[in-house]
Structure 1
Amino acid sequence: MYRWNNLRNCCYRVLLTRNYCKAAGDNEMVLDSLYTDEEKRNILECFNKSSIMELMATKNLNKQKSSSVVSHREKFGEFTCLTDISKVPGFGLITLQKLCNILKRVTHEQLKESVHKMTAEVVKSQPNLSKEKCKSIQNIVAMDIQADRITWLKMSRDLHVDDWQQVKIFNKPYVKYEPAVYIEKMTEVVNSLPSAGIYTLENKIYRYPTSSSNTMGFNKRRLLAVYYRHLHFTN
């Protein structure tokens, strides 16, 4: 009886596998019928011309899957239909359909532009800087603010480091200071900064917030507000 049950289960699994493979093959053929000819041309152009970085710019493919697309394309040639893309290792039909729904509205030129915006040549600032202001800047002071100290670095326009220094704000950062003393010490630090065309500060993001990181983040935001006020009115 035990052997008979095992044999029956094995046969049942084989039938399920065959039916699943047949259904998967039908679904792959259906994928091409979900889009118009123009949409399919647009999708295929993105898959056939995009680099790894451009595929990652869709925000739906990680580096591993983007590399698989490029490797498959280099090995077997360009994709001629959407069914060909489903043969790339690691691609499921649901994932592929979601990606096609995005790429049918996106051109390859738009993906290239997205990659260009992600490169180091393009920097987002807050507040935004005009082109005229950017051209007039000859040097910058980049700052890193900590709870008890500030580190600054002065660079010329061609990224030559002119000077840098680490200045302590408080000898004992965990001691409670009166607001007047607090402001006075921070003013001394601001006055010690070298003159520059612009002062920059990286907006750090805490990806895994905790009770301690939230408190630290709030205190840093408060420091930033004071520094911004001093720099804004003294420069």
Structure 2
Amino acid sequence: MKHLIASILFLATIGVASAQTKGHVSYALDFSSDNPEMAMAISMMQGSTMEMYFMPKKSRIEMSMGTFIKMNTVMDAKADKGLLLMEMMGNKTATQTKISEVKAEEKKPEIKVEVTTETKEIIGFKCTKTILRDAEGKETIMWIATDLKADLKGHQQFGNAPISGIPLEFSTSVNGMTIHFVASKFEGSVEKSVFSTKVPEGYKIVTEDELKMMGGGQ
């Protein structure tokens, strides 16, 4: 359970996302691992989803991990505010940040991007196979819809990659678990109210360091 929570909190890192257009993409998540000890954790995660909302200078990512963890990450670049809401096993926490401070702390990833000629269609969008390679040679394959323009820097789900467009299918690995994301629906409209950075009632405000400690971090 400790490794499972740490894996989920890895995806909760607050970052910067300033979209160039607007819309709502729904994703289905699938989990796998070569470690037999992860089998129970994986079974608990079935049915997980991710919702991405974006419009100019605002973004929101909602993740429902199984039935016991929910996370909402909201970025408002115009107001210089970021908010992470987490509900885990009955505990509700909120982490606030200033986007300008996040930008100052970000390190540029040493990632090489190879855009191939291979394409396929996902939920009506033409997606191009793109291969990302980090400094250690690890490869990540993303199928990117370049018709959907957004800046996804800072979001751990997308590996802080310097890409042009929105990945509609990709995988990420952490703590021995591979999470496969694939888009299932797109809507071209989004309500401004989903980008509110106000902390709802019932949430305890914690720092990013306190959040990391919840996952067994140092």
Bigger relative contact order, structure 1 or 2, given CA contacts below 8 A and separation 6+? 2
Give the alignment's TM-score, normalised by structure 1. Answer: 0.19
Q: Flag the structure with larger Rg.
A: 1
Name the one with the larger helix percent.
Answer: 1
Name the one with the larger strand percent.
Answer: 2
